[in-house]
Amino acid sequence: MPSTPHSPTRKLILGSTSPYRRELMQRLRLPFDVVAPEVDETPRAGETPHDLAKRLALAKAQAVARQHPSAVVIGSDQVADLNGEPLGKPGDHARAVAQLRRMRGQTMIFQTAVAVVCAEAGFAQSALAPVRVVFRALSDDEIEAYLQAEQPYDCAGSAKSEGLGIALLDAIDSDDPTALIGLPLIRTCQLLRAAGVKLL
């Protein structure tokens, strides 16, 4: 869709409840509001992690844009992809242990998607920033020690690479360094510029 110049009065909204995405957005030094998107995140039958992440990022942005049609809205989603199987947020200790046991010694793809929507301008674009992550062959004791220390139960894949979770990994491969934390800022900036938002 064609982009429309960003009006100085047009609000910027992050459609997310994630504190990690909010912290990342603050790096851009733009004023923005935060609105929780009301979106059903249940995967569809046969939906790949790649497609799920893109669909949910766009759905989140669109849900908030319906409430704030003149605003430029950012939506994002991340799905941990283990050999084509989506792994969500564990939610509790037992599920996190089970996830990390499955992931040890494995190469994962964290499918991180971002979408930018302005309903009034008819603008809607999205992008994917996949991150390849190689987990070490973790012992049960290492898994337990990590989870007790960081309790990353609200993170897809049960680990925070920006914290102690980096010690679980052998390698990270990405062309958008913040994608693994949950919001790919290089892709986000590209989409915001396409929507007419002046960043610098």
pLDDT band (50, 70, 90) for residue 9: low
pLDDT digits (tens, 9 = 90+) for 130-156: 999 999 999 999 999 999 999 999 988
Sort 152 into a burial class: Cβ within 10 Å, 0-12 / 13-18 / 19+.
buried
**Where do runs of H (alpha helix) occur along 73-164?**
93-103, 140-150
In a domain, 1, yes or no: no
pLDDT band (50, 70, 90) for residue 88: confident
Output the pLDDT for position 4: 45
* For residue 186, pLDDT beyond 50: yes
Mean pLDDT, the chain, integer? 93
Output the pLDDT for position 2: 41
In a domain, 68, yes or no: yes
Which range of residues forms the domain containing residue 33?
12-194
Output the pLDDT for position 197: 95
In a domain, 7, yes or no: no
Output the pLDDT for position 87: 87
In a domain, 200, yes or no: no
Structure tokens at 20: 């990690």
What is the distance in angstroms between the CA of the first residue and the CA of the last residue of the chain?
24
pLDDT digits (tens, 9 = 90+) for 90-135: 999 999 999 999 999 999 999 999 999 999 999 999 999 999 999 9
Structure tokens at 154: 């609200």
In a domain, 4, yes or no: no
Catalytic residue IDs: 77
In a domain, 179, yes or no: yes
* For residue 196, pLDDT beyond 50: yes
Output the pLDDT for position 156: 85
How far is it, in rounded angstroms, from Cα 33 to Cα 16?
10
176: left (phi over 0), alpha (psi -120 to 50) or beta: beta
In a domain, 128, yes or no: yes
Asked if residues 181 and 162 have their Cβ atoms less than 8 Å apart, the reply is yes
Tally the domains of the chain: 1
In a domain, 199, yes or no: no
* Contacts (Cβ under 8 Å, ≥6 apart) of 37: 15, 16, 17, 59, 60, 61, 63, 64, 75
Output the pLDDT for position 8: 52
pTM over 0.85: yes
- Of 76, 70, 13, the C-alpha closest to 41 is 76
* For residue 16, pLDDT beyond 50: yes
- Of 33, 127, 32, the C-alpha closest to 76 is 127
CATH number of the structural domain spanning residue 72: 3.90.950.10
